[in-house]
Amino acid sequence: MCQLVSPEGDHLGAALYLPQNVGPPQLQEIVNHLLHNEDKLPYAFYIGDEELSVQLGTYMQQKNANVEVTLRIVYQPQALFRIRPVNRCSATIAGHTEAVLAVSFSPDGKCLASGSGDTSVRFWDLDTQTPLFTCKGHKNWVLCIAWSPDGKHLVSGSKSGELILWGPKTGKQLGSPLMGHRKWITAVSWEPAHLQAPCRRFVSASKDGDARIWDTTTRKCVISLTGHTNSVTCVKWGGDGLIYTGSEDCLIKVWETSQGKLVKTLQGHGHWVNSLALSTEYVLRTGPYDHTGKTYSTPEEMKEAALARYKKMRGNAPERLVSGSDDFTMFLWEPTISKQPKARMTGHQKLVNHVYFSPDGQWLASASFDKSVKLWNGITGKFVAAFRGHVADVYQISWSADSRLLLSGSKDSTLKVWDIRTHKLKQDLPGHADEVYAVDWSPDGEKVASGGKDRVLKLWMN
């Protein structure tokens, strides 16, 4: 007797009697039929936290399971396309004269930008794997960079607190630096493309304790979000139009963006909040662009495409937020529904440095200074697996677009690719001469970029 259940816990029809020789292929047929899917979609099936890979009869025998009890089988939609794991370094590009602190692919995956301790931002040509533009304008280390979801702008923030807008097509600085922050910029996040196209506004977080919303057209700070009593370490602009800030004052604050009013404060962490991630982050980052490579001629088209992608990804569930902290724990929140966390996630032995939802929102990964990467259920917050292999602090993680592979970069000078299904190391990528600070997997799945203390940018392909 089996009950099919959605990842959110909703029953799909009534419980069914199924023969023992039914396995994942037959279950796939049943789910597609019950959901009235015109195009057959791929699904993976989970009993408890284990993926079902055999026939039901075999499973029952292996587990010595009671036939009288109804078996709960969770079906999880899988991406239609498959990303292959990267396995070789295709280019090592010199150019930066100090450590590479940030790397980021454009929303369509066709361009790459990096920020460095040498005060420059660089754009790279991915076809020829050579430097395209070197952008000078900052007076201090470039700590963070962020592409607008329509791909038209890149903003960079520095250790001196100024923000500079760049045109990726020309490499030119657009207007003078945006001044206002008194200390260094810790993070930048753009307003999602489905809320505003062309993309105009972004929010910056700073060590001075404030977050500021800027308008790129008027080149002014339009709203200051003040209320944190310590450095703001991270900021995310959510798909519902709310801004989330995490701070060294242990709090997460939620703001509305028309007047900058504080909506609510999320409490729970006992130490600094280091990292925030949204379940919708991948579609927010990529806006209208998906793996098909479709291009758009007008901002309205982009906005519509971005909205359709956002709605499809979110479904009926609320946008989820996860926070990682110096207190070794993480919290899963549904901020629009409650001030109380949905789950508290424990297990890391040292501070949690980076958290990131998979593109489909089903998984959640965390990187820690305890040398491990952990995998959690992105809906319930339940622990799934620990990935061990790094021999030093893990700094940054990034997902493949199909949510099947996870990439991590570490102080131990390696990148590693992990397989989400088998919970095993898929690929070990040595090659950097020193600590790897920044990694990113291109939205089109073709390439990985990494940068770090050895000043070179590496591109990895399959």
pLDDT in tens, 377-419: 999 999 999 999 999 999 999 999 999 999 999 999 999 999 9
The C-alpha atoms of residue 371 and residue 447 are separated, in whole angstroms, by 24
Where along the chain do its domains lie? 2-77, 88-461
- CB neighbour list of residue 169: distance below 8 Å, 6 or more residues apart: none
Residue 48 confidence (pLDDT)? 87
Residue 50 confidence (pLDDT)? 86
DSSP characters for 295-331? --SSHHHHHHHHHHHHHHHHTTSPP-EEEEETTS-EE
Token couple for 81: 């396309």
- Type of residue at 11: H
Model pTM score: 0.92
Cβ atoms within 10 Å of 388's Cβ, excluding its own: 12
Residue 367 confidence (pLDDT)? 96
The phi and psi torsions of 421 (rounded to 5 degrees) equal -75, -45
**Contact, 223 vs 202, CB < 8 A?**
no
Tell me how far the alpha carbon of residue 145 is from its chain's centroid. Answer: 15
Cβ atoms within 10 Å of 141's Cβ, excluding its own: 19
- Type of residue at 276: L
| Helix-then-strand count for the chain, H and E | 4, 36
Buried b (16+ CB within 10 A) or exposed e, 419-435: ebeeeeebbebebbeeb
The C-alpha atoms of residue 400 and residue 253 are separated, in whole angstroms, by 29
| Secondary-structure percent of the chain, ordered helix, strand, coil, rounded to 5 | 10, 40, 50
Positions in the chain short of pLDDT 50: none
Model pLDDT for residues 176-186, shown as the tens digit of each residue = 999 999 999 99
The C-alpha atoms of residue 131 and residue 127 are separated, in whole angstroms, by 11
- CB neighbour list of residue 258: distance below 8 Å, 6 or more residues apart: none
Token couple for 7: 């990842």
Going across the sheet that includes 343-345, the strands are: 273-278, 321-325, 330-333, 343-345
**Contact, 390 vs 431, CB < 8 A?**
no
The phi and psi torsions of 24 (rounded to 5 degrees) equal -50, -40
**Contact, 212 vs 187, CB < 8 A?**
no
**Contact, 397 vs 390, CB < 8 A?**
no
Q: Domain 2-77 is of which CATH architecture?
A: Roll (3.10)
The C-alpha atoms of residue 275 and residue 159 are separated, in whole angstroms, by 19
Residue 444 confidence (pLDDT)? 87
Token couple for 99: 């450590």
CATH code: domain 88-461 is 2.130.10.10
